[in-house]
Amino acid sequence: MAQNNVLAAPARPADPCTIVIFGGAGDLTRRKLLPALYNLKATGLLPKELAVVGIARAEMSHEQFRDMQVKDIAQFATRPIEEPLWADVRDALYYEHGEFADPATYRRLSVLLGEIAGKHGTGGNVLFYLATPPQFFAEIVTQLAAAGLARQARGWRRVIIEKPFGRDLDSARLLNGQVAQALEERQVYRIDHYLGKETVQNIMVFRFANGLFEPIWNRRYIDHVQIEVAETVGVEERGGYYETAGVLRDMIQNHMFQLLALVAMEPPTSFEADAVRDEKGKVLKAIRPMRPEDVLQRTVRGQYGEGILGGHRVPGYRAEAKVSPTSMIETYAAMKLQVENWRWAGVPFYLRSGKRLPSRRTEIAIQFRQPPLLLFEAAAIDGIEPNRLVLHIQPDESIEIQMKAKRPGPIVQLQTVKLDFSYKDFGETAAATGYERLLYDCMIGDMTLFHRADTVDAAWQIATPILDVWGSLKPRDFPNYAAGTWGPASADELIGRDGRHWWNSGVDVSGNGPH
């Protein structure tokens, strides 16, 4: 048997450390990071020697900061708070005020870190978490290096950088360059919270821990792949941000390209971080950037107008808060990508994502080729749908195989049936924020689920030519789909030109029906 490279379940508490959260008074900290730290505490994965420092502008004492977090955890915890456990976390919270651009902030932080290391026994280990608006990422790492905080003779220094990492190829390269001036790549953890999801992590296990699928996981047996992230929500209170982003930057360039890479990557030689990241990077590099004429043929964008969703009338995108009434930002996109390597040549990957669609779901459908001879064509009562393997990522976490079976009875009638496995039946898992595994991994120095500079670059190389064409050719038909429908008709045409269809657009809660 081949060498046993196990993707081991984390078991030991993480290394002693101080976690410094830049933006410690912000939304991400209160909603996700503190609840995730509490969940790690409850599962025994936090070290006893731990302290957390929040940094933001308002002046407040450590005690006031703790009181703030007590209120927030009561609201955002994903599991019941057990007082002695939470008290340990609470008592390890500290606060430092200051402007990110002010060197004095870092001088005060340095003094505080010294005090905390003595009091909590955290040693020299410090994890800096940049939970800040992206315009501060370069500023903070530069200041950390200038203040001598980015390196330490004893212990490790690591930096988690939030998304978005750049807004196109040039800005991502600039940011990567600035980060590289301040830190070594092995210190940089570019986070993508999608990769913290259980079912996303399971894609690799599914593919590489089972011998069943790998032999047919290629152009010979797979007809095409569909990856979909459908949301029912609109932009909610994020209109200001979304106006500078759109679905391509917000969802596709990062999360969906990662899903694609996990589906299409070659088996890594081990589960060491760089072995996995090498293979994912190769997939992205094998997607040739589109020429302008390809963008016109192989991509579609949309923006939702007013419509009916879940029985309620909802406003169009342009009527949302902090959105321009003439906005040209896309809330929907579909595209056809080709991974040009030996395994995948000729197998299209269709991606689509949008807001205000009829249901919320993230899924990957692998559609297999039909048998060479359709012996039972006439007996198939629900048509000649091919075999599909569907990986449901959210909200229902499950794996489904669709296949044909004979209906019981004296005549031969075929129908599609499903073999499925649901995570719900696998065992109880406590509700989580998605940040637990990522925070833990950073604390133990496992970079597997974090983006490397070259893979970020590769993803922007695919997205930027599309953004360039979309930016120079303003859409004339926005809004071009009603809220509560499955996106613009041109998305159906995109896949229809290849003689295919979106496999599951029939499921609809809006009452509008698929077009």
CB of 264 to ligand NAP, least distance (A): 25
CB of 68 to ligand NAP, least distance (A): 11
CB of 136 to ligand NAP, least distance (A): 6
Here the contacts of 197-200 (C-beta below 8 Å, separation 24 or greater) are 197/393, 197/394, 197/434, 198/397, 198/423, 198/429, 198/432, 199/391, 199/392, 199/393, 199/394, 199/397, 199/423, 200/258, 200/259, 200/262, 200/393
Smaller CB distance to ligand NAP: residue 31 or 107? 31
Phi-psi map region of 139: left, alpha, beta (phi>0 left; psi -120 to 50 alpha): alpha
Smaller CB distance to ligand NAP: residue 27 or 236? 27
Residue 131 and residue 159 in contact, taking contact as beta carbons nearer than 8 Å: no
Catalytic residue among 120, 224, 255, 451: 255
Active-site residue flag, 255: yes
CB of 109 to ligand NAP, least distance (A): 12
Smaller CB distance to ligand NAP: residue 225 or 438? 438
Smaller CB distance to ligand NAP: residue 130 or 390? 130
Angle subtended at Cα 413 by Cα 409 and Cα 419, rounded to the nearest 5 degrees = 95
CB of 504 to ligand NAP, least distance (A): 27
CB of 96 to ligand NAP, least distance (A): 10
Smaller CB distance to ligand NAP: residue 29 or 327? 29
Smaller CB distance to ligand NAP: residue 244 or 422? 244
Angle subtended at Cα 513 by Cα 512 and Cα 515, rounded to the nearest 5 degrees = 105
Closest residue by beta carbon to ligand NAP: 26
User: What is the binding site for ligand NAP (CB under 6 A)?
Assistant: 23-28, 31-32, 56-58, 99-100, 131-134, 162-163, 193
CB of 468 to ligand NAP, least distance (A): 23
Three-class secondary structure assignment of 406-468: ECCCCCCCEEEEEEEEEHHHCCCCCCCCCCHHHHHHHHHCCCCCCECHHHHHHHHHHHHHHHH
Q: What is the DSSP string of 10-69?
A: P-SPPPPEEEEEETTTSHHIIIIIHHHHHHHHHTT-S-SSEEEEEEESS---HHHHHHHH
Residue 113, both tokens: 């870190």
Could you give the CA distance from residue 265 to residue 200 in angstroms, rounded to a whole number?
14
Smaller CB distance to ligand NAP: residue 191 or 347? 191
- Helix or strand (DSSP H, E) at 367: strand 361-368
Catalytic residues: 255
